[in-house]
């Protein structure tokens, strides 16, 4: 199902975008807002980006991603932002972005209106956060002023200076709307800068490429073609995780010989007895570990903190001991345990290892758990006969379905 989107006409968006592009290019920043044969681009070089492309027939497409605000990209359950999208979109660009969860919004303009796939109210797609400076004349004027003060490092000390920048920005934007940008417009706005100084030739070249100088026209992209088949996410990242975790709960342990006795286990047990909360040697440690992460949960007799020790001191010490134990007990055939429960008394050590299953004594909140990439690494470190029953669910393809 589609919904209309309240956005400026494509020509206005483009003009504002091209104006910002030419202005920044004129002072040496040619890769923030810029134009090429594929359209108008924005890249904050921090993971957020957007692209506006024009097509013949008064058509346009605007798409992008904001690293902090595109909740649509990892929505739970997942959203197919290309449902109902027209055939003429640049599918070769959009499809891989959607498949890799790097598409936060896509809207298209045809027959006088902007449209997109409908998703629930309140779900942020990042469009406003990414291309906000082009969404109104006022926003663009504010951005031009920031180019002077932020990028140009020029302080506007008096109201008169601020008014002069405002007036020069208005004149530049008006000329851009008319397709009549010329050198004096840039000089009036950017001539006040010294470091960086105006490169008029670069500014005019960028303005021409953006189609806002006399006799120039914005680039158009050819109409795309919908793929015969594409992959659409059927499981969100969270749903895929929970599917694997559920399978781990149901899995049974494959038969392995117990690891040989190690000095590392004795060292852990000695540390636990020393940290016994009741001073009688009883202590319990519950842990999950893989090659890159380790977490600990409180057992019946958790290790006691010592007065005055650094915050997380206990966790750091037990983490080091557990990693040492895990390394010592690793086997190239059987792999390494994922979960472990160690219990001590004054004279005994009880240890339970889980290589293939999620034990009942390890709490599951449905939100946090082993990462799929980490589990993949662990399984790949074992001989095939000791691969757990849920290994097939680690395949990323499990999360996708084919769609025509």
What is the distance between the alpha carbons of residues 231 and 233, in angstroms, rounded to a whole number?
A: 7
Q: Which two tokens stand for residue 102?
A: 């790097």
Domain residue ranges of the chain, discontinuous segments joined by +: 2-209, 237-403
Q: Which two tokens stand for residue 67?
A: 């690293």
Q: Report pLDDT for 373.
A: 95
- SS3 category, 200: helix
Closest CA to 181 of 57, 25, 305: 25
Per-residue pLDDT of the chain (404 residues; tens, 9 = 90+): 999 999 999 999 999 999 999 999 999 999 999 999 999 999 999 999 999 999 999 999 999 999 999 999 999 999 999 999 999 999 999 999 999 999 999 999 999 999 999 998 889 999 999 999 999 999 999 999 999 999 999 999 999 999 999 999 999 999 999 999 999 999 999 999 999 999 999 999 999 999 999 999 999 999 999 999 999 999 999 999 999 999 999 999 999 999 999 999 999 999 999 999 999 999 999 999 999 999 999 999 999 998 888 888 899 999 999 999 999 999 999 999 999 999 999 999 999 999 999 999 999 999 999 999 999 999 999 999 999 999 999 999 999 999 97
Burial of 267 (0-12, 13-18, 19+ CB in 10 A): middle
Q: Report pLDDT for 16.
A: 98
Q: Report pLDDT for 121.
A: 86
What is the distance between the alpha carbons of residues 300 and 283, in angstroms, rounded to a whole number?
A: 8
What is the distance between the alpha carbons of residues 37 and 26, in angstroms, rounded to a whole number?
A: 19
Backbone angles phi, psi at 5, to 5 degrees: -125, 135
Query: pTM of the full predicted structure?
Result: 0.87
For domain 237-403, give the fold.
3.30.500
Q: Which residues contact 356 (CB under 8 A, 6 or more apart)?
A: 248, 251, 252, 253, 254, 388, 389
């Amino acid at each position: 199902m589609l919904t209309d989107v309240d956005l400026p006409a494509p020509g206005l968006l483009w003009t504002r975008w091209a104006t910002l592009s030419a202005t920044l290019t004129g002072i040496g920043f040619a890769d923030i807002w810029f134009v090429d044969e594929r359209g108008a681009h924005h890249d904050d070089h921090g993971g957020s980006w957007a692209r506006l492309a024009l097509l013949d027939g008064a058509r346009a497409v605007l798409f992008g991603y904001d690293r902090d605000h595109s909740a649509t990209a990892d929505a739970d359950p997942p959203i197919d932002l290309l449902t109902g999208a027209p055939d003429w979109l640049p599918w070769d660009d959009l499809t891989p972005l959607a498949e890799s969860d790097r598409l936060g919004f896509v809207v298209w303009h045809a027959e006088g209106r902007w449209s997109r796939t409908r998703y629930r109210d309140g779900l942020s797609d990042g469009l406003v956060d990414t291309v906000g400076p082009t969404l109104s004349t006022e926003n663009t004027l504010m951005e031009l002023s920031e180019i002077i003060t932020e990028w140009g490092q020029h302080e506007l000390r008096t109201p008169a200076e601020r008014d002069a920048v405002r007036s020069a920005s208005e004149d530049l934007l008006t000329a851009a709307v008319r397709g009549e940008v010329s050198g004096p417009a840039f000089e009036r706005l950017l001539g006040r800068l010294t470091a960086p100084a105006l490169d008029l030739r670069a500014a005019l070249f960028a303005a021409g490429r953006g189609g806002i100088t006399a006799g120039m026209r914005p680039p158009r992209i050819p109409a795309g073609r919908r793929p015969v088949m594409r992959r659409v996410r059927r499981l969100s990242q969270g749903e895929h995780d929970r599917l694997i975790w559920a399978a781990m709960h149901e899995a049974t342990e494959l038969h392995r010989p117990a690891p040989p006795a190690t000095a590392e286990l004795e060292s852990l047990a000695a540390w636990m007895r020393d940290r016994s909360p009741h001073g009688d040697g009883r202590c319990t440690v519950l842990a999950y570990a893989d090659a890159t992460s380790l977490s600990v949960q409180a057992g019946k007799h958790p290790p006691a903190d010592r007065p005055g020790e650094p915050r997380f001191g206990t966790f750091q010490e037990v983490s080091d001991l557990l990693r040492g134990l895990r390394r010592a007990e690793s086997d190239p055939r059987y792999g390494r345990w994922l979960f472990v429960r160690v219990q001590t008394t004054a004279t005994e050590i009880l240890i339970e290892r889980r290589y293939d299953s999620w034990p009942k004594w390890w709490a599951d909140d449905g939100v946090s758990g082993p990462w799929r990439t980490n589990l993949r690494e662990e399984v790949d470190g074992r001989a095939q006969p000791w691969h757990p029953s849920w290994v097939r669910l680690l395949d990323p393809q499990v999360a996708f379905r084919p769609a025509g």
